[in-house]
Amino acid sequence: MQYHLNYNFIWKYFDRLAWGLALSLELATIGILIGCIIGLALAVLSHGAGRPVRFVVGAYVEFIRNVPLLLLVYLVFYGIPSVGGFAYDATTSFTMTLAVYAGAYLVEVFRAGLDAIPKGLIDAGRAIGLTPAQRVLHVQLPTMFRIVLPSLGNAFISLFKDTSLATVLAVPELMYGANWIYTNTFRIVEVWTVVAPMYLVTGFILLGCLRLLERRFAIRRR
Amino acid sequence: MSGNDPLVKVRGLTKSFGANQVLQGVDLDVPKGSVVSIIGASGSGKTTLLRCVNLLETYDGGSIEVDGVEVGYDLSDGRRRPRGERELAGIRADIGMVFQLFNLFPHLTATENVMLGLRKVRGMGKAEARAAAEQWLVRVGLADKLESLPIELSGGQQQRVGIARAVAMNPKVLLLDEITSALDPELVGEVLKVVRELARDGMTMMLVTHEMTFARDVSSRVVFMDGGRVAVEGSPKDVFGAPAQHERLRGFLARIELRDI
């Protein structure tokens, strides 16, 4: 039996893919933003904190990192309503899951970033009379941001790909759009040969933007 | 404070890192407008002493007064209470420091490096701070590097930004911690030239240095530290002139090359 490629259906329903891609990017963006807030807050908190705080933060990080994301997605969407008695819509639930997931990875990224700030810069901030809060704001955070930028970018591209898991909650992102076309047209090869490049090209563009940003904010460039 | 009290007054200063007592009772006076060079072998406590003056290192015993104010501790109600960070920030603002490794803020241009303290600590407006910063950068010979980032500058240029950043705050005393040690030999001169000019203008300075010729030329007093104490103190002529009386100083000077800058 021979399979005849026919892309007509794909183009007919392409708006589902286009909108899906937009939603995927949106989910990843919100995920990394909230994830950054979680990660940064916990990193700063545990940086100068005692053992109990570090233990709790460490437990969160290890739990999230050692459980499959898909399981977390199910757990948050089905588990919280059953136990807590309140429900979110699928998109909100998934975004929160993604943010908490990203947060766990970013704690480590930010912690390493804080550790990597040259001690002399903090001394320099103290020597000109900056208060601790001013040092964090004007010296430590800007320096750390430049140190962690590459890791942050990689995390964002990872998250963008991870948004494909939202399809299991029927969140209409790119993977869901692809599944919809495939189940309604059975054009399986066509769908995936279009969607894979969409992920790929978007990832490449993100990577390119990231490299530009890194160059713009480079500290050590010679 | 009476008129002829020293600007910086160190008395019986002690400091340990664990079991290692690096300062074993240091007494030192730095009169206003004078330049005091601190020399000595590595491990003699000279950098630690300097870092104690603006409390980048805490000290265990003794006292340091800058312009009549005890730096690390509040003695006002008869007890010795360590100062909080905010209080210290106010004291440090009046004590300039230049570092061996420059420690410029890497994300800020030369001008912005100098402006940061003027804006956030001195509360200057943006235009005023920029004008003051540029004026100082021009004075240290960096008129064409105002908008350069630290990575775009040579070591000597970075260090001159470091000096501008410190003196722009109009400090009562300037601390210079081996400011030429990380520089290529051919860049040392341009940095020391700036320091010489500051000395001529009457800036009170404490400097730790390995440049003996420079210390001899620029200092009002030279202090030789050994084993966490002041071993020899005197005029440059006393310390560097005729064979030293102090045996350890003689040994130290014999190992150090005197070169012209």
Predicted confidence pLDDT, tens digits, chain B (261 residues):
455 689 999 999 999 999 999 999 999 999 999 999 999 988 899 999 999 999 999 999 999 999 999 998 888 777 888 898 889 999 999 999 999 999 999 999 999 999 999 999 999 999 999 999 999 999 999 999 999 999 999 999 999 999 999 999 999 999 999 999 999 989 999 999 999 999 999 999 999 998 888 899 899 999 999 999 999 999 999 888 877 678 888 888 888 766 555
- Please report whether residue A190 resides in a domain: no
Smallest Cα distance from A132 to chain B, Å: 7
Task: Return the pLDDT at B256.
Answer: 77
Residue A146 in contact with partner chain B when CB distance is under 8 A: yes
- Please report whether residue A132 resides in a domain: yes
Instruction: Please give the model's pTM, rounded to 2 decimal places.
Output: 0.83
- Please report whether residue A198 resides in a domain: no
- Please report whether residue A152 resides in a domain: yes
Neighbours of A209 (CB within 10 A): 12
- Please report whether residue A192 resides in a domain: no
Residue B164 in contact with partner chain A when CB distance is under 8 A: no
Rounded Cα distance, A23 and A3, in Å: 32
- Please report whether residue A13 resides in a domain: no
- Please report whether residue A194 resides in a domain: no
Residues of the domain holding A47 = 23-174
Q: Which residues of chain A have pLDDT under 50?
A: 220-222
Identify the CATH number of the domain in which residue A46 sits.
1.10.3720.10
How does A4-26 read in b/e, with b if 16+ C-beta sit within 10 Å?
eeeeebbeebeebbeebbebbbe
Task: Return the pLDDT at B72.
Answer: 85
The size of the A-B interface in CB pairs under 8 A is 82
Rounded Cα distance, A156 and A6, in Å: 34
Residue B19 in contact with partner chain A when CB distance is under 8 A: no
Find, in chain A, the residue whose alpha carbon is nearest to that of B92: A129
Task: Return the pLDDT at B259.
Answer: 56
- Please report whether residue A123 resides in a domain: yes
Among B116, B161, B163, the strongest candidate for a mutation testing the A interface, having the largest count of A CBs within 10 A, is B116
**Cβ–Cβ under 8 Å, residues B134 and B165:** no
Q: How many domains does chain A have?
A: 1
Task: Return the pLDDT at B195.
Answer: 95
